Amino acid sequence: MEEEMSEPLILDGKALSQKLREELRREIERYTSAGYRKPGLAVVLVGDDPASQVYVKNKVNACRKVGIESIFYQLDKNTVTEELLDVIAELNSREDVDGILVQLPLPEQINQEEVILAIHPEKDVDGFHPENMGKLVAMMEDGFIPCTPLGIDLLLSHYGVGLKGKDVVIVGAGFIVGRPLSLLMLWRDATVTVCHIHTRDLKKHTLSADILISATGVPHLIKEDMVREGAVVVDVGISKVEGRIVGDVDFEKVKRKASAITPVPGGVGPMTVTGLLMNTVKSYRRRLRVHSTSTMKP
């Protein structure tokens, strides 16, 4: 007979998000009832990619619920780089805009590097500007950490998953998740391995993980035999298979081995949006202090 397995701890990103967003809502309410303006986040979407539309809608709704004013720009799919740069320049100079988010990926005629460089680092709540990436390398607290790595860090810390000295294995070295996450895990004193499409023996690496984080977008890449007994498993992947959202991890089987695991949906996804809200409020606080004698004061 099969030995009975204990159920793993579910790292519930939805529940933690609710809690953290409620705290943000109260904090913003304290500011606004003292006469300050609301925090402002500009969200720019170029084109009509259906997945991007869903992400942007989620972000705008989440802003509204906590009391962040969202300024939504929908630009035509044929927008050229210069037009987008003009929009960013205007947003950079607006007093009521604390954060600027340009939803990626951009249509191919747009030069993504130029766009990332154009966003003022102090309004770069996605944390993709090289100045903020550099601050992540340098462990400078005043930078913005990209939202998904930030959300994962908050989730692990909330559930008491220690990182110091642990073997963290990250599968996927993308610019948005894997790469900045590897720097953040190093900041937390983990021993970090980063795997990607050219990694020779993926399983050898994943089996050594105390904490295994997958961010590839390959459905069910991570199988049961690739996970060490008792590992903590974090699934960042989002793919659509036959109309269903699935992660990188074969959840039903892997959960038998993991001591803790994130669900998809309801794990990293909501924490990413929470990370964005936190970064926006971080910018707002800083800008209110800077401008506390100007128009922003009651």
* Interface segment toward ligand NAD; rule CB under 6 A; list 24-32, 116-124, 131-139, 209-217: 209-217
Position with the least CB separation from ligand NAD: 174
Residue 121 engages ligand NAD in binding (rule: CB under 6 A): no
Contact criterion met (CB below 8 Å) for 197 and 215: no
Active-site option among 124, 126, 153, 248? 126
| Residue 274, both tokens | 């929470």
Q: Give 108-173 as a DSSP string.
A: TTS-HHHHHHHS-GGG-TT--SHHHHHHHHHT-TTSPPPHHHHHHHHHHHHTT---TT-EEEEE--
Residue 172 engages ligand NAD in binding (rule: CB under 6 A): yes
Phi, psi of 277 (to 5 degrees): -65, -40
235-254 positions binding ligand NAD, by CB under 6 A: 236-239
| Residue 249, both tokens | 């991890």
* Pairwise CA distance, residues 111 & 81, whole Å: 6
Residue 180 engages ligand NAD in binding (rule: CB under 6 A): no
Phi, psi of 221 (to 5 degrees): -65, -40
Least separation in angstroms between CB 172 and ligand NAD: 3
85-114 positions binding ligand NAD, by CB under 6 A: none
Least separation in angstroms between CB 287 and ligand NAD: 26
Q: How many residues bind ligand NAD (CB under 6 A)?
A: 26
Is 103 known to be catalytic? yes
Is 59 known to be catalytic? yes
3-class secondary structure per residue, 173-221: CCCCCHHHHHHHHHHCCCEEEEECCCCCCHHHHHCCCCEEEECCCCCCC
* Pairwise CA distance, residues 237 & 216, whole Å: 6
Residue 221 engages ligand NAD in binding (rule: CB under 6 A): yes
Least separation in angstroms between CB 268 and ligand NAD: 4
Identified binder of ligand NAD from the candidate list 136, 195, 222, 227, rule CB under 6 A: 195
Closer by beta carbon to ligand NAD, 272 or else 283: 272
Residue 217 engages ligand NAD in binding (rule: CB under 6 A): yes
Cβ count within 10 A of residue 292: 10
Identified binder of ligand NAD from the candidate list 80, 138, 197, 290, rule CB under 6 A: 197
Catalytic center residues: 59, 103, 126
